[in-house]
Chain A
Amino acid sequence: MAEFEPKIIAFCCNWCTYAAADIAGTSRIHYPANVRIVRVMCSGMVDPIYILKAFEMGADGVLIAGCHEADCHYLNGPLKCDAMFEKIKRVVNILGLEGERLRREMIAAAEAPVFAELIEEMVKQLKKLGPSPLREGVKV
């Protein structure tokens, strides 16, 4: 049987982490292809519904990544994202998902290598955890 390949959905803010992923590309910094990036304008725009939808659809990991506090294009987006994250984390635990499946990171536009390393690390960790218990059409 082929090795388990986790699926990761990464919500990346347009100004910082999405740009970091772009620069990873321009600089040809390779990372595992398990990640699918969804562009959002701000990490503070990520609705808990999106996270639950991703897990419901069988994502093995979800990443929410955006600017550091000081870099936010909209002043305080990262703080708002943090507040949302604290709440949704609890819900995710209640659903029986391991905490490691949901990550919140701050990656500035200049930190392309950090982005690549993070994906590498997440994939490694998720391979250890195995497929999400919510896969196989288990509905939330």
Chain B
Amino acid sequence: MEEIKTGVYICHCGLNIAGTVNVEEVARYAGTLPNVVVARDYRYMCSDPGQALIKDDIKNLGLNRVVVASCSPRMHEPTFRRACQDAGLNPYLFEHANIREHCSWVHDDRQIATEKAKDLVRAAVRRVFYNEPLEIKERPLNPNVLVVGGGIAGIQAALDIANGEHRVYLVEKEPAIGGHMAQLDRTFPTLDCSECILTPKMTEVGQHPFITLLAYSEVEEVAGSVGNFKVRVKKKARYVDEEKCTGCGVCEEKCPWKVDSEYEVGMGKRGVVYVPFAQAIPHVATIDKERCVYFLKGKCRACEKFCDAKAIDFEQKDEIVELEVGSIILTTGYDVFDSRRIPQYGYGRYDNVLTGLEFERMTCAAGPTGGKVLLKDGRQPESVAIIHCVGSRDENYHEYCSRVCCMYALKYAHLIKENTQAEVYQMYIDMRCFGEGFEEFYRRVCDEGVNFIRGKVAKVTDVALTEGEQGKLAVIAEDTLLGGIIRVPVDMVILCPALEARFGAEDVAKLFTINRRADGFFMERHVKLDPVATATEGVYIAGCCEGPKDIPDTVAQASAAAAKALSVISRGRVVIEPTTAQVNEVLCQACGRCEEICDFHAPKVISKDGLRVSSVDAALCKGCGACAVVCPTGAMSVRHSTREQINGMVEALLEV
């Protein structure tokens, strides 16, 4: 066996490590460990000169193992592996000791931290002794992309990729794309109409030769890995033939049954057979089976009688579509916090307490009131209070700021001033107007004579204490600038509820094996430096599924995610992780336990030269190691996570 020559490099990371850990002492100590031929400390190992130290030592001293003790391997393992590779050393002969995140940043006693750093370095030196060079193979990839969620994020990502002439499958669970943006009236800070800027994009999606739109569909199963995902999509039965339906709307007109429209957030009605909204893409009808009298009672079929295109099909079945894609972009958006959860604000009890989304529909010219700001009894309000941070910045609900409410609250103030003579009160905690043109818009609304009251609203009540409160709603708040409790009588209250993680986000995260943050939104690989990638290679996130944000930020993120997917496509190949399971055929008894435990069907007991042995399909293996644990003979192991490597670390950590 060749002699093992290990080089050890201790990083100061400026003072991040050296401030707590005596790095010179750790380096001196490392130099005394078995098989270590050189041990150095340096200010920034990740810098070019830091990496050059490693490369030069590999060339000049003939190193065949390298250990760097610095930050987390989750941060710089790829950097140092590349440095090794550049100098001709197999990257799997590198080992990383985490003496920053797991040591200098969490302990403050210099001696204790230094001792711990020595232990971690010793363990890494032991582990690397057992590391083996692994062959890195590449395989071709499938250039198709799956986009899940057809809000503005999904629409933008799909168009960016399709305009590069790559196939996009856009899966939307609702009958039409558009998401929340399709429900908005005008958008801050420029007040351009949402419909006017969204409709052309939706139409483009509907007509794009490189986009396959699967609306009213949901992803059921995902297998494979970056470059080669296999996805099963359920296309739910609409009971309307999409090819034949012209979207003329006669069926909806003739449908004798009317229910609350989701699009109008309950402020308008739709038929049980319906086209969700005028600009809906795809522009076809859908029968709401749960509420259709024919499906419930076996009688009606009025829609069928009046459909000239003969598109109604009560026999239609759910359809399974199998897709093959190389990367996946999740754009599943957000839910609006249910304001009923804060009963003291009276939503659901008082007629004239509305949510933001309801107010969007009210000011929309095509909406249920024809764009007029009206009270339930048809009068115009003389005064309106807008309550910020309903469920946001509130430790009882969501601690985070929802980022868009201050701005749409200002937008509402402006629209109310434009449409009515009403007095407007903004009841805010802090005004957060940080984006392009936001501060200017804030100034403009201030100049329009809107009242700003700083303080958290305690309660909305219809119990009048004074003459002036008769027939009105009193908003009770603490004015933190005046330092007292105030009561503001108004005709209408608009709540600004939090944007929250979508119901079912947990299932979506599990389906695509990505993580969620404590607040429930999808977690990015790195908050600052990798904001649209996830823990799973080839799966990207964009828009409000990653956290509350406005349309400009959503679109920017969607384009970023598309660029990530396009860069995978343009490379044309993916690296096959060599860290898969392997069988020692001499030890294997062909018991089949590995086959049983594997969720990816990677190991299979086969006949080989007349002998029964287990064999692992590397393309399917994810390297989770469950098979190695259940293997009774020790025949199964995972490359780069072998028993020698892990036991070696345990031994090294505890032997002094």
Contacts and interface: CB of A to CB of B under 8 A. Distances in A.
A125 B115 CA distance: 23
Given A57-B651, A111-B518, A46 B629 contact: yes
A91 interface: no
A15 B517 CA distance: 13
B40 interface: no
Contact of B535 (A15, A48, A77): A15
B650 A38 contact: yes
B624 interface: yes
Contacts, number: 148
Interface string A31-43: 1010011111110
Nearest to A67: B515
B650 A45 contact: no
Contact of A41 (B113, B523, B624): B624
Interface in B61-115: 72-75, 98, 100-103, 105-109, 112-113, 115
A28 B105 contact: yes
Contacts of B107: 30, 33
Contacts of B74: 14, 18-19, 22
Contact of A25 (B72, B510, B597, B623): B72
Given A19-B74, A45-B626, A71-B516, A110 B651 contact: no
Contacts of A48: 629
B654 interface: yes
B36 interface: no
A30 B516 contact: no
A40 B625 CA distance: 9
Given A14-B74, A30-B107, A31-B106, A80 B650 contact: no
A90 B579 CA distance: 32
Contact of B624 (A24, A31, A74): A74
Interface string B613-656: 00000000011111011000000001001010011011101110
B655 A36 contact: no
A14 B600 CA distance: 19
A25 B105 contact: yes
A110 B518 contact: yes
Chain B interface residue number, banded: 35 or more
B419 interface: no
A100 interface: no
Interface in A36-87: 36-42, 44-50, 53-54, 57-59, 67, 70-77, 80, 84
Interface stretch (B116-124, B137-145, B193-201): B116-124
A57 B650 contact: yes
A42 B625 contact: yes
A106 interface: no
Given A26-B105, A33-B109, A74-B599, A50 B515 contact: no
Q: Which of A16, A25, A50, A59 has the most CB of B within 10 A?
A: A25
Interface string B43-54: 000000000000
A123 interface: no
A53 B106 contact: no
A108 B641 CA distance: 22
A110 B535 CA distance: 13
Contact of A50 (B518, B579, B638, B650): B650
A122 interface: no
A75 to B, nearest CB: 5
Nearest to B127: A38
B109 A21 contact: no
A102 interface: no
Contacts of B622: 73-74
Given A26-B101, A84-B629, A15 B650 contact: no
B513 A75 contact: yes
A38 B646 contact: yes
A29 interface: yes
Given A41-B625, A80-B629, A54 B650 contact: yes
A7 interface: yes
Nearest to A36: B653
A44 B517 contact: no
B654 A44 contact: no
Interface of A: 7, 9, 14-16, 18-19, 21-22, 24-26, 28-31, 33, 36-42, 44-50, 53-54, 57-59, 67, 70-77, 80, 84, 108-111, 116
28 contacts: A16-B515, A22-B101, A25-B106, A30-B106, A30-B107, A30-B108, A33-B103, A33-B112, A33-B115, A37-B102, A38-B123, A38-B649, A38-B650, A39-B73, A41-B638, A41-B641, A42-B624, A44-B624, A44-B625, A44-B626, A45-B625, A45-B629, A46-B629, A47-B643, A54-B654, A108-B518, A109-B535, A110-B518
